[in-house]
Structures are given as structure tokens and as C-alpha cells.
Amino acid sequence: MKKIALAMAVVLACGISTAAQEQRFTVSGNIDGLEKGDTLRFRQIILPGWKDGDTFDVVLKKDSRFKYKGTQGHDMYYIMEYHPVCGSAPECDRSGKTMIIAGNDRIRLSGSRDYIYYSRLEGGVYDDPRLAECLAVEDSVGAARGDIMRRLEEANAAEDYETARKISEEFNSFYNDNHGAARSEELISEYFKDNPQGNNYILVDRLQRMSYTPLDRAKEEYDAYSPEVKQSYYGKVSADLLGRLEAIDLGRQAPYFSLTLNDGTPVSNDDFKGKYLLIYHWGMCPGSMQIDPEVQSLYSKYKNKGLCIIGITESIDEFRGFAEGIPEGTSSPSIGIDDLKARMDGMLAHPWPEAELKTGRAENQKTADTFMVSGLPYFIFIGPDGTILARDFQPAFYQAKETLQKAVGK
């Protein structure tokens, strides 16, 4: 069945551990509509990098209510996934409900099955009234966006592709002039500003953004944390990440890296001495689709003038599979693309070499980790002398373009 949507599915794997733990905690909930036999899977998210950690399952013994007592080694970030005993989980714009659990926390969830990933959280850090207000607005906005995804799913199921196209446009432009989303951002910004000493919520949020936060700003935020927060588990993780980011700050020599290209060719820093190298992390996202023609144009203009590009993506086969499901002539006005299929076909025909992350080649993932590649599209621009000139989302590309224009000519 063809589906029209600009969303990338996130496949979440689980790992089970039996290691001894120290902290004790309780998670309970009252979610209307859950049935006896339903499973709630709580998976640890290892930050930074969003890697899989230990998992525990809660199988409901009666409708709506559940309770679990567990242990863990330290404060931990979790994502809760819903696996109903019958049917599938409701469509929404999230892959689960995230939460932070610290030692002796009694976390409580309340809500309804249809909006389970927007449930209210209480206990631990979530007992802060101002944070609760921030999350209530954020969940309300997310639920509205999730409703659009449900309508899209229904249209696709009915093979009403014209309606699906219109709903897809509505989904992709959801945040444009959305007052609820703007209010949510305003509230969380004020909350962070008024709590410079930090807490677990602030630490976890910033850890996920630190790799693309200006280093001076990240240091300033860390320095403002209280001694207690700095000594916490996520405080120490933040300090470690700051050190790693310093090593790849602008103007530093790029650390050694190696990649195995899709044709089996190994490459490393040594292969690009005396040349400009742009590493381009692209994939299934509107931002990649928007900027890709500009990247190809830059390559065409400077490939014989000292510019090399290496594309990094998760899986070209997965991207190709999605592209094949797009009907000819499909447009996406919200992101300025008249022919979506043609754009994706062009991305599958990149004129530069590519390296995939989902190949089992550890060196490829290690390179992505070394440069803190996060999100799409993401660029690392390295000069002929091996120094890092830019590392960011779209701004790094435009910095590369400006540098080449000045150094080589327009």
C-alpha cells in the first residue's frame, strides 16, 4: 500500500539486562482504555546518542491500572512503548512517552489509551508545578499533531491518496504559525531561564541538544549548574560530553576517522589532505530534501576545484523503498517541492561516494559518533589543512559555500 507522508519511522530495539542495580523506584498509572494483558515496555535511553539500554515490561493484570517496582544503577531516561494485547497502538506523532526516573521516585501516569503517549506525569522532577505546565501545553500540541497522523493513516488505509496528500501537507506545515507550539516554546524557554541551577529535566533536555549548541553557550549553561546538579549522574555525563565537544570545536584539527564506502573502498583523513571535505549526513527528512539540490549544485561547481563530498545516511535501501511508494507527480508545497518523487530519485543518484550507518561497519558509526552527528541534514566541513571549519545543520553548509566562494571563486 502506498503511503504519502514525510516522516521517518524509528525502529526501536530492546536489550535485557540482569545486572545488579542500586536505586529503587516505582512506576504506576491509571490509563483509561488499557486492557488486561496489554504490555507497557520501558526502555532505557542512553544519552548522549539515544542508544538502547535495559528494558523492563509491565503486563497489565487488570484494566487501566498498573504498578511496577524496580531498580536501576543511577538516574535514567526511559521511553515507554505501548503494545496492546489486541490490535495496534493508536497512531500519533511520537514513538513513545519519555520520562526521567531517579532513585526513590514514585512516577505516576494518568491519561487515556488513545492519547497514551501524551499522558500526564507526576512524581520526581515532574512534581515541579511550572514544569508540569510546560509539559501539559507540549502534550496538548503533540496530541493535536497526532490527530492529523491518524487521519493520514485512515486516508492511506482507504487508498484515498489525494486526501492523504492534503493531510500530509497539513502535517508538514503544522508548526507554521501554530500559537500552541509557540506558547510551548515560550514556556519552556522561561522555565530554563528561571532555573539556571538545573535539574534532571534540564540536564536531559540539554544533553540531547548539546552537540549542536555553540560550545561557549554550553559551557556557560554548565557553569551555572549547582554543585549538586554537577555531581549528579547526568551532570557528570554533561561534563564528559563538553570535553568531547571541545575536541571537535571549530578551528581544531579534525580527529582521525575512517569510513568504508558502499562500494567497499576504505577512506580516512589522509585521503583528503590538501582538499576541502564536506561530510553530508542526509536522509528521510524535509530538511534534507530541501537542501539537497543546493548540495549537488555546490559539488558540481567545485568538484574540480578541490571539493570532495562524502554522503552518510542510515540506509539507502530504506530510502529507496520509501521513494518507490511515492506516486509520480506528488508535490509537497509546505516544503517547496513540486515533484517529491523526482527529488528523492535525485537523492538516490548522488554523484559523490556514500557510506551507510546500518551496515554493521563499526568504523562508519564510530565516525558519526566522533563528530557528534545528530539529526538531518548535518554537515562537517574540513579545510585542506585538516581543521574543522564548520559543523552544524544547514548553517554549516552555507558556511562551506561562503568559504569556497572566497577561497576558490564564485
CATH classification of the domain holding 310: 3.40.30.10
**Are residues 216 and 271 located together in one domain of the fold?**
no
Question: How many domains does the chain divide into?
Answer: 3
Of the three residues 101, 127, 153, the one that is the final residue of a domain is 127
Evaluate whether 112 touches 31 at the Cβ level (below 8 Å): yes
Nearest to 79 by CA among 99, 62, 59: 99
Q: Which residues of 168-199 are buried (b: 16+ CB within 10 A; e: fewer)?
A: bbebbebeeeeebbeebbebbeebbeebeebb
Which DSSP letter does residue 55 get?
Answer: E
Q: Is residue 172 part of a domain?
A: no
**Are residues 282 and 364 located together in one domain of the fold?**
yes
**Are residues 374 and 302 located together in one domain of the fold?**
yes
CA distance 174 to 144: 9
**Are residues 311 and 220 located together in one domain of the fold?**
no
Strand partners, 55: 43
**Are residues 237 and 304 located together in one domain of the fold?**
no
Maximum Cα interatomic distance, the chain, rounded to a whole number of Å: 70
Backbone angles phi, psi at 92, to 5 degrees: -160, 180
Q: Among the residues of 158-199, which ranges form H helices?
A: 161-172, 179-194
Q: Is residue 135 part of a domain?
A: no
Q: What is the CATH number of the domain that holds 57?
A: 2.60.40
CA pseudo-torsion sign 288, 294, 296, 298: negative
**Are residues 295 and 375 located together in one domain of the fold?**
yes
C-alpha cell at 372: 557528534
**Are residues 233 and 264 located together in one domain of the fold?**
no
Evaluate whether 249 touches 338 at the Cβ level (below 8 Å): no
Q: Is residue 44 part of a domain?
A: yes
C-alpha cell at 164: 492523504
**How confident is the model at residue 102, as a pLDDT?**
98
**How confident is the model at residue 277, as a pLDDT?**
99
Spell out the per-residue pLDDT of the chain, length 410, in tens: 333 333 333 333 333 333 445 899 999 999 999 999 999 999 999 999 888 999 999 999 999 999 999 999 999 999 999 999 999 999 999 999 999 999 999 999 999 999 999 999 999 999 999 999 999 999 999 999 999 999 999 998 999 989 998 998 999 899 998 999 999 999 999 999 999 999 999 999 999 999 989 999 999 999 999 999 999 999 999 999 999 999 999 999 999 999 999 999 999 999 999 999 999 999 999 999 999 999 999 999 999 999 999 999 999 999 999 999 988 888 888 788 999 999 999 999 999 999 999 988 999 999 999 999 988 999 999 999 999 999 999 999 999 999 999 999 87
CA distance 115 to 147: 9
**What domain range includes position 103?**
23-127
Q: Is residue 398 part of a domain?
A: yes
**Are residues 68 and 27 located together in one domain of the fold?**
yes
**How confident is the model at residue 21, as a pLDDT?**
54
- 296-301: long-range contacts at Cβ-Cβ below 8 A with a sequence spacing of 24 or more? 296/346, 296/350, 296/351, 298/397, 298/400, 298/401, 298/404, 299/351, 299/352, 300/351
Q: Is residue 314 part of a domain?
A: yes
**Are residues 93 and 31 located together in one domain of the fold?**
yes
**How confident is the model at residue 328, as a pLDDT?**
87
H or E element at residue 122: strand 120-122
Evaluate whether 245 touches 215 at the Cβ level (below 8 Å): yes
Mapped onto helix, strand or coil, the DSSP state of residue 105 is coil
Burial class (CB in 10 A: 0-12, 13-18, 19+), 331: middle
pTM above 0.85, yes or no: no
Which DSSP letter does residue 13 get?
Answer: -
Q: Determine the distance from the C-alpha atom of residue 70 to the mean position of all C-alpha atoms in its chain, rounded to a whole number.
A: 28
Q: Is residue 133 part of a domain?
A: no
**Are residues 242 and 262 located together in one domain of the fold?**
no
The sheet that has 388-392: what strands, in order across it? 354-356, 307-313, 276-281, 378-382, 388-392
CA distance 384 to 404: 11
Q: Is residue 317 part of a domain?
A: yes
**Are residues 264 and 401 located together in one domain of the fold?**
yes
C-alpha cell at 64: 487501566
Q: Is residue 312 part of a domain?
A: yes
**Are residues 313 and 352 located together in one domain of the fold?**
yes
